[in-house]
Structure 1
């Protein structure tokens, strides 16, 4: 298989999977399945991008297996977490607001929106591909640092999610804003750690970059994820929903806690 055929195969998988996600969301009325399926599909294509044989590669490298394990671990934890949150719950408020704004065109516009998500997943997959196919002969400090960053990101995101779950499970917190633990240092610590994990692939791609300029492609992962989370589908629609739901309490939270990067309270 050539790299061109590999990329076409992975693009087709993402297009088909997100079409399936649209059908599931329409049938169940629970748009949360979209994010779960998107995360898991990115893990699948990431593993395939790392491990599928291509022309000119006689053996599978340790780096390929490392990167495949990294993207698989990240996707499995996040996808299952979102699936658990979605099961038995209502519609995701971000998607519910978009569909309400779209009105009678909601079905078609949601389908197009999910194909755009497939496109961004493809771009993120290129970061995984560039890291996994780095031909540097041995694992080095960049590879170790990348794996440790990804592991820290998975743990940090898991801790943030569990802290929010614990807060929501306490009836005394109904109608309040979670501002303890990691949520007292960042309004979106789960998003921050999700972004941080993509720095791991960048580090691995940069190992020996002087002889492997394609490793620079791995830098696109954290850039794209930052734009998605901070400026597009992450923070803006979620904070708009929180302002509608929590009002002045959330405005006060915004005034004292950073939006993305963890830091001291103001």
Structure 2
């Protein structure tokens, strides 16, 4: 199989899966299923991209297995987390807002939106594919570094998700803003660690010497994920919702905690 054929098949599969999700949401399923299924989709297609034999893109078998395992583990953890949240919490406020803004055309616009998500998944899958196909023989220091980054990302995202879930699970915190643990260092630590994971794939793709030209294209993965999370479908709609629902409490939180990059708390201004 050639790389072109593989990606055509993955594109068709991604489009079909997101069409099924669209149909389910239109028929009444909660919108949280969108992100859960997308997470599983990226993992499943990423594993496929790493393991399926491709002409002229053999790569080292140990690296391919390692990348496939990393993609599967990340996908399962995130997908299961979102699935549990969906079953417990109902509608995702971002999708609820889009439905309100789109009005009568929301079904068509949601379909197009989900197909864009399917296309976005392909770019991320390409990052996994390139990382898995690095031609360096045997595992290198760059593989160890990349896997260490991926492990840190999965652990960090898992810890931040668990901290937020515990905070929300307490009745006394209803209507409040989580400002504990990692959430006191970044307003979106889960997004930061999700982005960090894609940097791990890029490190593996570039390789130990950086002399494989294709490897540098994997940098498109973390760059694209950063753009999505910080400027498009992550932080902007979520913070708009938080400002509407939490008001002054969230506004104060914004003044003292960075949006994306974890850091020390900012000093609150006093008049």
Structure 1 length-normalised TM: 0.97
Structure 1 residues 110 and 203 mapped into 2: Cα distance closer, same or farther (>3 Å)?
same
RMSD: 1.3
2:73 maps to 1:73: yes
Count of aligned pairs: 266
- After superposition, the Cα gap between the structure-2 partners of 1:139 and 1:59, relative to the gap in structure 1 and judged at 3 Å, is closer
Say whether the 8 Å CA contact 2:186–2:263 is kept in structure 1.
yes
1:197-233 CA-partner distances (Å, limit 9, x unpaired):
0011000001155542100111111101000100000
In the other structure, the counterpart of 1:148 is 148
Task: Tell me if structure 2 keeps the 8 A contact 1:15–1:115.
Answer: yes
| Equivalent pair of 1:74/1:154 in contact (CA under 8 Å) | yes
- The DSSP-based 3-state class of the residue aligned with 1:53 is coil
Structure 2 equivalent of residue 200 of structure 1: 200
8 A Cα contact 2:187 2:258, kept in partner: yes
Deviation of 1:139 (Å): 0.9
The Cα offsets for residues 108-167 of structure 1, whole Å up to 9 and x where unpaired, read as 000000001111110111100110011101211100000010011000000000000110
Q: CA deviation at 1:15?
A: 0.6
Q: How is 1:26-175 mapped onto 2 (pairs within 5 angstroms)?
A: 26-56=26-56, 61-175=61-175
Q: Which moved more, 1:101-110 or 1:23-32?
A: 23-32
Once the two structures are overlaid, the 10-residue window that deviates more, 60-69 or 219-228, is 60-69
Equivalent pair of 1:51/1:60 in contact (CA under 8 Å): no
SS in structure 1 of the partner of residue 89 of structure 2? coil
1:58 Cα shift? Answer: 6.8
Q: How far is the alpha carbon of 1:88 from its aligned partner?
A: 3.9
In 1, Cα distance between the equivalents of 2:143 and 2:96?
A: 41
Segments of structure 1 that go 5 or more residues without pairing to the other structure are: none
Displacement, 1:55? 2.2
Superposition pairs for residues 6-45 of structure 1, below 5 Å?
Answer: 6-45=6-45
* Alpha-carbon shift at residue 29 of structure 1 (Å): 3.7
Contact kept? 2:42, 2:125, Cα under 8 Å: yes
User: Which residues of structure 2 form unaligned runs of 5+?
Assistant: 267-271
Conserved? CA contact 1:205–1:218, under 8 Å: yes
Question: Offset at 1:103?
Answer: 0.2
Tell me if structure 2 keeps the 8 A contact 1:209–1:216. Answer: no
Of 121-130 and 201-210, more deviation after overlay is shown by: 201-210
